[in-house]
Amino acid sequence: MSAPGTLPRWAELGLLPVINLVAALLISGVVIMLLGESPVAAFKLMAAGSVGTQEGIGYTLYYATNFIFTGLAVAVAYHAGLFNIGAEGQAYIGGLGTALVCLWLGAWPFWAVLPLAVLAGAGFGAVWAFIPAYLQAKRGSHIVITTIMFNFIAASLMTYLLVNVLIKPGQQSPESREFSVNAWMPSATDVLARVGVGFAATPLNLAFGFALGAAVLVWLLVWRTRWGYALRVAGENPAAAVFAGIAPPRVIIGAMLLSGALAGGLGLNELMGSQHRILMDFPSGAGFVGIAVALMGRNHPAGIIVAAVLFGALYQGGSQLSFDMPKINRDMVVVIQGLVILLCGAMENVFKAPLAKLWHGCLARDPKPTGGTPAPR
């Protein structure tokens, strides 16, 4: 019996997110109108600022790179049945690993620094995820609680390190010295210039490629390997995993190590690619945006890339908006982002039932449409 309330797969994956996004933008438009600005003009500004120019595109993809890393981190944990709220802290500590390599081995050639920086970032991120994972797997401490706590511990630890250890001597702001140029991730401008394409100077850098590569890797691991199969079985039905001889504790630890390692990729983009030093609070919430990105992208790498670019565009378009429309400040932009997260993430199924009804209404030749048919439970 096909339950009413089901949609074809393409509509669920393609149409529903678009409807959610449009709804979020409509509500945002009302908010902008209440502030006395024209919504149409505001959205035009946002679109132009995020995808209308080379600079805009560069910034959008630069932000998206962070979100891809953290979105993948959340998604991998999700498939193992874990809600990893700690991507923020894992990215923070992972960045520390990358920065230490870049600071100490900055004199080495780039091709030698890069793999070490990648490994250190992934390794530090994984270690930070390991502790909550171990506590969940062996002690049953809930991973949501422990990963939240580990965000705070990471922040305090990094504040201590930046203020007392890593700070550049004789300087007020808590940040390290600049990395040597050998440890800079090549910018998109330089990379494209090599193949003869001109591109505006933006923070977009090679780390974007690493993020796309990570997405492919996650897809392969989760859907094409025996390990990924075990991971998904344990995530969907832990009892069936035990029945199959898969040990859920091992899956939990393995999934969280990978999750932390992916979050650790953020340092490649933010530190090696853009800031060229380590500074306070450089993840700036990307770990939390990653949750929304994973939700909206349905925890699938392809969806995560699309969602990450959308959120990158919101970030970039939002800063453009607050710059050009003084009545709409930074906080209003956060409100708009919040509405998108609310409608595309938390309330993603609000339009599903009406849409399904509409769908079945068009197909079924119902002689007597009864209107308020109660949905079966």
Partner 1 sequence: MSDDARSATAPGRNSGGAAGAARAPALELRAIDKRFGAVQANRAISFSVAAGSIHGLIGENGAGKSTLMNIIYGFHRADSGEILVHGRKVDITSPQAAIAAGIGMVHQHFMLVENFTVLENVVLGVEGGALLAGGLTAARRELEKLARDYGLAVPLDSMISELSVGLQQRVEILKALYRGAEILILDEPTAVLAPQEADQLFKMLGRLREQGKAVILGTHKLREIMAITDRVTVMRQGAVVAEVMTKETSPRGLAEKMVGRAVLMQVDKCPATPGAALLSVTDLEVRDRLGVPRVKGVSFELRAGEIVGVAGVAGNGQSELLEALAGIRAPSRGEIRLGGRELVREQLDARARRALGLAHVPEDRLRLGVVASFSAEANAMLGYHDRPRYGRGLFLDGVASFAGCEAKMKEFDVRPAQPALRISAFSGGNQQKLVLAREIDADPTVLLVGQPTRGVDIGAIEFIHRRLIALRDAGKALLVVSVELDEILGLADRILVMNGGEIMGELARAEATEEKIGLMMAGVRGEGGA
Among 43, 110, 130, 227, binds partner 1 (CB under 8 A): 227
Contact 58, 203 (CB under 8 A): yes
Distance CA 133, CA 361 (A): 47
Residue 360 binds partner 1 (CB under 8 A): yes
Among 4, 39, 106, 345, binds partner 1 (CB under 8 A): 4
Distance of CA 134 to the CA centre of its chain: 24
Residues 306-345, mask of contacts with partner 1 (x by CB under 8 A): ----------------------------------------
134 vs 229, beta carbon nearer partner 1: 229
Contact 287, 263 (CB under 8 A): yes
The distance of closest approach from Cβ of residue 222 to partner 1 in the complex, given in angstroms and rounded to an integer, is 11
Among 245, 326, 331, 362, binds partner 1 (CB under 8 A): 245
The distance of closest approach from Cβ of residue 144 to partner 1 in the complex, given in angstroms and rounded to an integer, is 22
Residue 246 binds partner 1 (CB under 8 A): yes
Distance CA 261, CA 251 (A): 15
Residue 181 binds partner 1 (CB under 8 A): no
Residue 233 binds partner 1 (CB under 8 A): yes
198 vs 367, beta carbon nearer partner 1: 367
325 vs 356, beta carbon nearer partner 1: 356
Q: How far, in Å, are 90, 114, 195, 335 from residue 59 at the CA level?
A: 23, 23, 21, 20
The distance of closest approach from Cβ of residue 237 to partner 1 in the complex, given in angstroms and rounded to an integer, is 5
Interface of this chain with partner 1, residues 207 to 226, rule: CB under 8 A? 224-226
Residue type, 244: A
Output DSSP code: residue 169: T
Which one of 12-20, 59-67, 88-96, 243-251 is the stretch in contact with partner 1 (CB under 8 A)? 243-251
Query: How many residues of this chain bind partner 1 (CB under 8 A)?
Result: 35
Residue 10 binds partner 1 (CB under 8 A): no
Among 53, 141, 182, 237, binds partner 1 (CB under 8 A): 237
Distance CA 349, CA 11 (A): 12
CB atoms within 10 A of CB 254: 18
4 vs 29, beta carbon nearer partner 1: 4
Residue 175, SS3?
strand
Which among 55, 25, 127, 12 has a CA at the least distance from the CA of 336? 25
Distance CA 152, CA 163 (A): 16
Which one of 58-66, 71-79, 166-174, 359-367 is the stretch in contact with partner 1 (CB under 8 A)? 359-367
Among 240, 346, 353, 358, binds partner 1 (CB under 8 A): 240
Contacts of 284 (CB under 8 A, 6+ apart): none
**CB burial class (10 A; 0-12, 13-18, 19+) of residue 373?**
exposed
Distance CA 310, CA 303 (A): 11
Contact 361, 86 (CB under 8 A): no
233 vs 296, beta carbon nearer partner 1: 233
230 vs 325, beta carbon nearer partner 1: 230
26 vs 364, beta carbon nearer partner 1: 364
Residue type, 101: V
Among 229, 285, 288, 335, binds partner 1 (CB under 8 A): 229
Residue 353 binds partner 1 (CB under 8 A): no
Residue 245, SS3?
coil
Which among 341, 345, 297 has a CA at the least distance from the CA of 315? 341
The distance of closest approach from Cβ of residue 215 to partner 1 in the complex, given in angstroms and rounded to an integer, is 18
Distance CA 89, CA 154 (A): 5
Tokens matching residue 230:
């075990």
Residue 34 binds partner 1 (CB under 8 A): no
Residues that bind partner 1 (CB under 8 A): 1-4, 6, 224-230, 232-233, 236-237, 239-240, 242-247, 360, 363-364, 366-368, 370, 373-374, 376-377
